[in-house]
């Protein structure tokens, strides 16, 4: 059975423009909070294929999105490379042993050995595929090497990125070695996600905007393109979505063998369309906080639809849904996207 989401990623005609939401499986859903409480904590939930499968399917059943996204986290990659990951309540992720020098990097597990340790992710994918309706797609994902490296070097989320930027300008060779080692793991990890059954790949570069535009290719984009090239050669049937957040100044320089460009909420959709619309299908990009108001949501959905028409587009938020959004408003967003883009 053809999947409307996969068709849309390849720019084929679809009955309406499909929609999903970044971070759609999460705390705004009471059903998610219940399963997370049963699991004890967030990492246990990621490690438990049955429970991770359950929360992956929740937004498909409850909110009506056209694609599921694997429930996991980008940081399980450095965790399985041997770093010590913790999620601290109210503070977010933390590595207790951030990378400071080459010896720290050499201690990390790389390549096939690291990718093979993520079996709980592959098991989760297989379970989801048994239960997901045939006409819905399953999105697998990874963090971009740069976004992963920011956590590996800073040890946690950061406002200034001063530790990794100090490395960028004073010891770029070390930063490139870290990025290259992560890239090797990510290639094999995503290949194994595909072999386990995912239909689409998304690469999240959430902290792209931390890099000045003239350095963005060197420290992030080229590694993302390397991953896409590797996967495209082995699995051309699997579409790839690139989501570099907050880099409108780089739009003229975007290149690479992938299918969908994810537009964040700070980039006007019309600008992205003008620069990239002929070459890539565009995904996005409602400002996530509009979800607090149904009127503001409808206005934005209509506006985006007017700009994009009814082809070469996938509806999404311009970044993740926030935990205090009413479920009813998320449902409203999804049904409005499907309504305004429906072809008679």
Can you give the binding site for ligand CP3, defined by CB under 6 A?
Answer: 22-27, 36, 42, 69, 71, 73-75, 92-93, 141, 143, 157, 204, 206, 320
Residue 168 neighbours by CB under 8 Å, 6+ apart: 175, 211, 215, 219
Phi, psi of 308 (to 5 degrees): -95, -15
Contact 152, 99 (CB under 8 A): yes
Q: Which of 117, 123, 179, 126 is nearest to 148 (CA)?
A: 179
Taking CB atoms, the residue at the shortest distance from ligand CP3 is 206
Between 26 and 284, CB nearer to ligand CP3: 26
Residue of 16, 27, 120, 229 marked catalytic:
27
User: Annotated catalytic residue: which of 36, 66, 189, 199?
Assistant: 36
CB closer to ligand CP3 out of 191 and 205: 205
Catalytic residue flag (residue 23): yes
Q: Residue 5 CB: number of other CB atoms within 10 A? A: 24
The answer to whether 238 and 199 have CB atoms below 8 angstroms apart is yes
Of 246 and 277, which has the nearer Cβ to ligand CP3? 246
Active site residue 151: yes
292 is catalytic: no
Calculate helix-pair angle for 119-131, 172-196, nearest 10 degrees: 40
Q: How far is the CB of 75 from ligand CP3 (least distance, A)?
A: 6
Which single residue is written with the structure tokens 């003229």? 252
Q: Are 186 and 233 in contact (CB under 8 A)?
A: no
Least CB distance to ligand CP3 at residue 147 (A): 6
Quick one: 117 or 245, whose CB is closer to ligand CP3? Answer: 245
**Three-class SS of residue 198?**
coil
Give the active site residue among 28, 32, 122, 151.
151
Smallest gap from residue 173 Cβ to ligand CP3 (A) = 26
Min separation Cβ 220 and ligand CP3, Å = 14
Residues labelled catalytic: 23, 27, 36, 73, 151
């Amino acid at each position: 059975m053809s999947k409307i989401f996969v068709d849309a990623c390849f720019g084929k005609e679809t009955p309406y423009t499909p929609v999903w939401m970044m971070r759609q499986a999460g705390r705004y859903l009471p059903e998610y909070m219940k399963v997370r409480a049963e699991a004890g904590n967030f990492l246990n939930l990621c490690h438990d294929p049955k429970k991770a499968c359950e929360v992956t399917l929740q937004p498909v059943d409850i909110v009506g999105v056209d694609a599921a996204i694997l429930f996991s986290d980008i940081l399980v990659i450095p965790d399985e490379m041997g770093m010590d990951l913790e999620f601290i309540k109210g503070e977010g992720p933390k590595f207790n042993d951030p990378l400071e020098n080459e010896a720290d990097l050499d201690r990390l597990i790389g390549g096939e050995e690291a990718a093979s340790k993520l079996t709980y992710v592959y098991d989760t994918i297989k379970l989801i595929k048994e239960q997901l309706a045939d006409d819905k797609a399953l999105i697998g994902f990874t963090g971009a090497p740069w976004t992963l490296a920011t956590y590996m070097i800073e040890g946690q989320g950061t406002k200034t990125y001063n530790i990794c930027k100090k490395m960028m300008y004073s010891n770029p060779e070390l930063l490139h070695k870290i990025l290259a080692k992560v890239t090797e793991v990510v290639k094999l990890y995503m290949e194994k996600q595909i072999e386990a059954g995912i239909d689409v790949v998304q690469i999240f570069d959430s902290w792209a905007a931390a890099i000045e535009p003239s350095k963005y290719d060197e420290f992030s984009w080229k590694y993302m393109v390397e991953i896409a090239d590797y996967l495209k050669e082995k699995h051309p049937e699997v579409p790839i979505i690139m989501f570099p957040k907050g880099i409108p100044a780089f739009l003229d320089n975007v290149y690479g063998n992938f299918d969908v460009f994810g537009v964040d909420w700070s980039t006007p959709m019309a600008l992205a369309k003008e620069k990239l619309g002929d070459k890539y299908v565009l995904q996005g990009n409602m400002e996530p906080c509009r979800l607090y108001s149904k009127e503001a949501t409808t206005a934005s959905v209509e506006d985006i639809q007017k700009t994009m028409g009814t082809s070469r587009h996938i509806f999404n938020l311009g970044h993740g849904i926030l935990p205090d959004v009413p479920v009813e408003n998320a449902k409203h967003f999804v049904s409005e996207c499907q309504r305004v883009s429906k072809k008679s």
